[in-house]
Structure 1
Amino acid sequence: MKLHASIESIGLIGPGLADWPQAAEILAGHAPWASARTALPPPAGLPSAERRRTSPVVKTALAVGHEAVAASGRDATTLATVFAASGGDGQNCHAICEMLAGDDRQISPTRFHNSVHNAAAGYWSIAARARATSNVLCAHDGSFAAGLLESLCQVAVDGVPSLLIAYDTDYPEPMHAVRPIDDAFGVALVLAPVTAADDAGAPTPAKALARIEVKLTDAPATTLASPELEALRADNPAARVLPLLEAIAAGRAASVVIDYLPETRVRIDVTPTGTHAEGSP
């Protein structure tokens, strides 16, 4: 079975990557990448009380979600969403474990509700006033691929656009020793149905960045030629998207393979549309 969709827009944030236009320049080879800690902006759209309570996980998810939706021109309140992360809020989990290991075991309600895996989805519903359905899933290092498949199934079955938001942030010690994610990385894709005219070979709508066709494969995952960017791809589960984004940034047709399950991966055939993000080549 093959799944099809158009990628209308992208949001991205990560180490040395402030947004998608800057990342597109780097991935296309038109600008160097300089490693730097991910600079997370304040979470837009939230009341001040909620802003103060948000963690890096929520800030990462909201930053890329807002960027992708704004670039697509779609109404965030009506977009179905899929959130994908290999874990929850590691820093908050660490703080709770410290409290439980101490004498004072009174966990604050804020700590508790930020510890659940769907916290980012809840904050997004507030910030974007989103009223459409939302799914939250986890598949360890294959979380981006799992989220992509879920979003594509929604696009195929329901015939409506879907917003995929994938993200993971770093863990403090001692959890970092067994889950060595070093920094925050997030990506968001607005995916839209491919129409009958598209299937017949008509041009993809001008606002789309690319068309993709996705199927399962046992081929090895695609790696990046840049050792530094390859290290970033391998470090964070959400960054497994980078080979796909590299093809889109370069405006070239390509087949890339993304990590999913131990014996099964996801192949993505990318067809450019001739339209690039502002600031990309």
Structure 2
Amino acid sequence: MKFSLDILDWQAVAPGINNCADWIQWAQCSGVDAFSGEIPKSAQIPMMAARRMSIGSRFAVDAGLSLLTKHQVDAAIFTSRHGELERTGRILHALAEDDAISPTEFSMSVHNTAAGWLTIISKNTLPVTSLAAGTDSFQQGLLEAQSMLASGASRVMLVDFDGEIPSLYAESVNSEFLPYAMAIILADGDTLQCQRISKNGEIDPLALSQGLQFLRGYLSSSRSFIVSADSRHHWQWTRAL
């Protein structure tokens, strides 16, 4: 499987990394330190709305709004491995304790919460879809974008994010690099080529999600880089000469 595309712009949010220069420095480090520092506040999201959002959704909406102020897009895709797991964990805890479930928690526990918030706050009724595909969520979002571009869309925004992980799942999920969000504007082109390759030896994913693996490779000076997929395949990215 092969495809190519152009990236017109990007934006990312994480604790302690507040601007593009910080992200470029992070990407070019030989080692990758876990995210730390204060949770950045958003100047774009109304306070009352921000207070109702999970951190992951707030980061996703903030990154998306930053790009929508500069670009006209035909559609948006939100990808997340865990979605609103933070809220789901609290709901499950309340059920286990036989406590009342918060209506707000329940209504915002769905996977497309962040996508809905983006259209509401931006007052933009663009088509939006949300998807999850485990560890391969980001790359599957890119394939979804390919179908949209092939169907006539000229620009598609992809927002990849994850929030905080409840302690209940700490043993099965590496949360050193959570929460985060990254957004990219995609268009037809051949600046970047991607193909799925068979796994040949161990490739250290550095505990990063696919989206962050891609961002680190994209912001580096390397002509090609690998994004980990599953036990059998990886995605190889190459810049056009």
TM-score bin, normalised by smaller chain? 0.7 to 0.9
- CA distance, structure 1, for counterparts of residue 162 and residue 201 of structure 2: 19
Shift of 1:236: 3.6
- CA distance, structure 1, for counterparts of residue 153 and residue 50 of structure 2: 34
- 1:74 paired residue number: 71
- 2:18 paired residue number: 18
% same residue = 21
* C-alpha distance after superposition, 1:87-115 (max 9, x if no partner): 122221121112111232x3222111211
Q: Which runs of 4+ in 1 moved over 4 A?
A: 32-35, 219-224
- 2:63 paired residue number: 64
- 1:97 paired residue number: 92
- The answer to whether the 8 Å contact 1:83/1:136 transfers is yes
Shift of 1:260: 2.7
> Quick one: which of 154, 166, 172 aligns to 2:166?
172
Q: How many residues align?
A: 239
* C-alpha distance after superposition, 1:33-52 (max 9, x if no partner): 78523623237244x44222
* C-alpha distance after superposition, 1:92-150 (max 9, x if no partner): 1121112111232x322211121111111111111222222111111111111111222
- 1:215 paired residue number: 195
Q: Does residue 268 of the first structure (1) align with residue 241 of the second (2)?
A: no
Q: Would the alpha carbon gap of residues 172 and 121 (structure 1) be closer, same or farther in structure 2, given more than 3 Å must change? A: same
- CA distance, structure 1, for counterparts of residue 152 and residue 114 of structure 2: 24
- CA distance, structure 1, for counterparts of residue 215 and residue 55 of structure 2: 21
Task: Give the AA of the match of 2:17.
Answer: L
Task: Give the AA of the match of 2:120.
Answer: I
Q: Does residue 118 of the first structure (1) align with residue 118 of the second (2)?
A: no
- CA distance, structure 1, for counterparts of residue 43 and residue 115 of structure 2: 13
Q: Does residue 8 of the first structure (1) align with residue 12 of the second (2)?
A: no
- The answer to whether the 8 Å contact 1:43/1:59 transfers is no
Shift of 1:223: 6.0
Q: Does residue 139 of the first structure (1) align with residue 106 of the second (2)?
A: no
Q: Would the alpha carbon gap of residues 186 and 223 (structure 1) be closer, same or farther in structure 2, given more than 3 Å must change? A: farther
- The answer to whether the 8 Å contact 2:14/2:35 transfers is no
Q: Does residue 255 of the first structure (1) align with residue 224 of the second (2)?
A: yes
2:36 counterpart SS class: coil
Q: RMSD across aligned C-alpha pairs, in angstroms?
A: 2.8
Q: TM-score, normalised by structure 1?
A: 0.74
Q: TM-score, normalised by structure 2?
A: 0.85
Q: Would the alpha carbon gap of residues 59 and 222 (structure 1) be closer, same or farther in structure 2, given more than 3 Å must change? A: farther
- CA distance, structure 2, for counterparts of residue 154 and residue 167 of structure 1: 20
Task: Give the AA of the match of 1:93.
Answer: T
Structure 2 unaligned spans of 5+: none
- 1:151 paired residue number: 145
Q: Would the alpha carbon gap of residues 40 and 93 (structure 1) be closer, same or farther in structure 2, given more than 3 Å must change? A: farther
Structure 1 unaligned spans of 5+: 200-210, 225-229, 273-281
- CA distance, structure 1, for counterparts of residue 202 and residue 121 of structure 2: 35
